[in-house]
Chain A
Amino acid sequence: MTSTKEKYIKFRILLVAVAFSLFFTAIGLKAAYLQIYQGTWLSQLAADQYEKSLKLSGKRGTIYDRNLTEMAVSIQVTSIAAYPGQIQNRKGAARALAKALKMNHRTLRKKLASHKSFVWIKRQATPREVENVKRLKLKGIGFIPEYNRFYPNKTLAAQAIGFTGIDGNGLEGVEYNYDSYLKGENGNFTQLRDALGHGFVSAGEKLPDYSGSNIQLTIDRTVQYIAERALEETVTKFSANSGIAIVMVPRSGAILAMAHYPLFNPNVFRGFNSNDWRNRAITDPFEPGSTMKIFSAAAAIESGGSSPSTIFFCENGAYRIGKKVVHDLDAYGWLSLQQIIKYSSNIGAIKISEMVGPERLHDTLSDFGFGTKTGIDCPGETTGSLAPYNRWSRMDASAISFGHGISVSPIQLITAVSAIANNGILMKPYLVEAITDRYGRVVHSFEPQKIRRVVSEETARMVSNIMKTVISKGGTGTRAALEGYSVSGKTGTAKKISEEGTYAEGKYVSSFVGYTPVENPEISVLVIIDEPQDKYYGGLVAAPAFRTIARETLNYLNIPPRGGNNQLAVSHQAGSNG
Chain B
Amino acid sequence: MVIFIAELLIYTWSRVQCTQIGYEITQAGGVHQKSITLQNNLKIELAQLKSPERIVKIARDQLGLIMPGPEQTIVMP
Contact with B along A93-131 (1 / 0, CB 8 A): 000000000000000000000000000000000000000
Taking a contact as CB atoms under 8 Å apart, the answer to whether B40 and A574 are in contact is no
Measured CA separation A335–B48 after assembly (Å): 54
A380 within 8 A of B: no
Contact with B along A538-578 (1 / 0, CB 8 A): 00000000000001100100001100111011111111111
Known: A69-B50, A70-B47, A202-B22. A551 touches B67 (CB 8 A): yes
Measured CA separation A70–B71 after assembly (Å): 35
Contacts of B25 in A (CB 8 A): 201-203
* Size band of the interface chain B makes with A: 20 to 34
Contacts of B56 in A (CB 8 A): 225, 229
Taking a contact as CB atoms under 8 Å apart, the answer to whether B68 and A200 are in contact is no
A199 within 8 A of B: yes
A207 within 8 A of B: yes
Known: A203-B22, A555-B68. A560 touches B75 (CB 8 A): yes
* Size band of the interface chain A makes with B: 35 or more
A26 within 8 A of B: no
Contact with A along B1-28 (1 / 0, CB 8 A): 0000000000000000011011101100
Measured CA separation A571–B47 after assembly (Å): 25
B72 within 8 A of A: yes
Write the chain A residue with the least CB distance to B21: A203
Q: How far is the CB of A209 from chain B (nearest CB, A)?
A: 11
Measured CA separation A574–B63 after assembly (Å): 10
Contacts of B44 in A (CB 8 A): 70, 73, 75, 150, 152
Write the chain A residue with the least CB distance to B26: A201
Write the chain B residue with the least CB distance to A71: B47
Q: How far is the CB of A505 from chain B (nearest CB, A)?
A: 38
Write the chain B residue with the least CB distance to A76: B37
Taking a contact as CB atoms under 8 Å apart, the answer to whether A570 and B76 are in contact is yes
B61 within 8 A of A: no
Known: A70-B47, A156-B51. A578 touches B73 (CB 8 A): no
Instruction: Please report which residues of chain B, range 22-77, place their CB below 8 angstroms from some CB of chain A when the two chains form the complex.
Output: 22-23, 25-26, 29, 37, 40-41, 43-44, 47-48, 50-53, 56, 64-77
Known: A70-B43, A566-B76. A483 touches B70 (CB 8 A): yes
Contact partner of A485 (CB less than 8 A), chosen from B21, B70, B71, is B70
Known: A69-B47, A152-B47, A156-B51. A572 touches B26 (CB 8 A): no
Taking a contact as CB atoms under 8 Å apart, the answer to whether A201 and B29 are in contact is yes
Write the chain B residue with the least CB distance to A226: B52
Contacts of A153 in B (CB 8 A): 47-48, 51
Taking a contact as CB atoms under 8 Å apart, the answer to whether B52 and A222 are in contact is yes
Taking a contact as CB atoms under 8 Å apart, the answer to whether A564 and B75 are in contact is yes
Instruction: Please report which residues of chain A, range 191-233, place their CB below 8 angstroms from some CB of chain B when the two chains form the complex.
Output: 192, 198-203, 207, 221-222, 225-226, 229
Known: A203-B21, A207-B29, A561-B70. A568 touches B75 (CB 8 A): yes
Taking a contact as CB atoms under 8 Å apart, the answer to whether B72 and A571 are in contact is yes
Q: How far is the CB of B6 from chain A (nearest CB, A)?
A: 25
Contact partner of A483 (CB less than 8 A), chosen from B23, B53, B64, B71, is B71
A484 within 8 A of B: yes
Contacts of B47 in A (CB 8 A): 69-70, 152-153
Contact partner of B73 (CB less than 8 A), chosen from A152, A229, A571, is A571
Taking a contact as CB atoms under 8 Å apart, the answer to whether A575 and B68 are in contact is yes
Q: How far is the CB of B22 from chain A (nearest CB, A)?
A: 5
Taking a contact as CB atoms under 8 Å apart, the answer to whether B73 and A570 are in contact is yes
Contacts of B66 in A (CB 8 A): 574-578
Measured CA separation A394–B37 after assembly (Å): 66
Taking a contact as CB atoms under 8 Å apart, the answer to whether A221 and B65 are in contact is no
Taking a contact as CB atoms under 8 Å apart, the answer to whether B70 and A152 are in contact is no
Contacts of A225 in B (CB 8 A): 51-53, 56
Write the chain B residue with the least CB distance to A569: B73
- Spell out B's residues near A (CB within 8 Å): 18-19, 21-23, 25-26, 29, 37, 40-41, 43-44, 47-48, 50-53, 56, 64-77
Closest 4 A/B residue pairs (Cβ): A578-B66, A484-B70, A571-B68, A564-B75
